[in-house]
Amino acid sequence: MKTKVYNQSGKEVKEIDLPENIFGLEFNSDLVSQVLFIQKSNRRAGTSHAKTRGEVSGANQKPWQQKGTGRARHGSKRSPIWVGGGVTHGPRKEKNYKKDLPKGMKNQALFNLLSAKLKDGKILFVDEIKSANAKTKDAVEIMKNISAVKEFENLSFKKKGNVYMTFPKLELNEKRSFRNLPYVVAHNVEDLNPADIADARYLVITNPEATVEYLQSKLK
């Protein structure tokens, strides 16, 4: 399958032939949902912790006698129904959220999401992106130019995670240029993974030949 490649000025420069086994797959929702669940679970810090009634501070004596006061009976101020008492079934830091994720599953989910993004017209291929001065204004100008491409007018929409941009090797100038744009996340192509693709609205792939070569190496 052929698709157009643009330069950072938003002009079409060539076409590239994309492999069907990476960008032309039928969407497997069961596989993708499993992989995304595992990835999100593995990203959890697991530091949330609530104290039980045995861990909160305070005296454990009976607040008042069982009968004769006209009030409800209580056994301890540490009870979960009291303000400042323990928490019932709260999060515990001892819980381990880590799960195994086979590489084959992860790669297939990645290819499924790439195929879905391409089918929806959410992947823009750019031959090269260079920032001469490592300035944020350079990145703003680049985003403005590539937003002129038909059907990609919302690339510069200022919403967090709007664009995930990949580079064969993210150089320091480009990293400094794009890091102050909250709606753009720039990474090396080796960091491409299902969770980040699913969270982003658009995917901008620079140097598509190198990217395709890297993705094909995952098939071996």
What's the mean pLDDT in 5-27? 94
* pLDDT tier at 60, thresholds 50, 70, 90: confident
Domains in the chain with CATH codes: 2-41+100-217 (3.40.1370.10), 45-96 (no CATH)
Write the pLDDT tens digit of every residue in 161-199. 899 999 999 999 999 999 999 999 999 999 999 999 999
Closest CA to 202 of 214, 186, 188: 186
Cα distance between residue 28 and residue 205, in whole Å: 23
What does the pLDDT read at residue 134?
87
> 16: burial class by Cβ within 10 Å (0-12, 13-18, 19+)?
middle
What's the mean pLDDT in 35-61? 93
- Whether the predicted pLDDT of 220 surpasses 80: no
Which amino acid is present at 167? F
> Angle at CA 124, nearest 5°, toward 138 and 191?
80
Cα distance between residue 175 and residue 45, in whole Å: 26
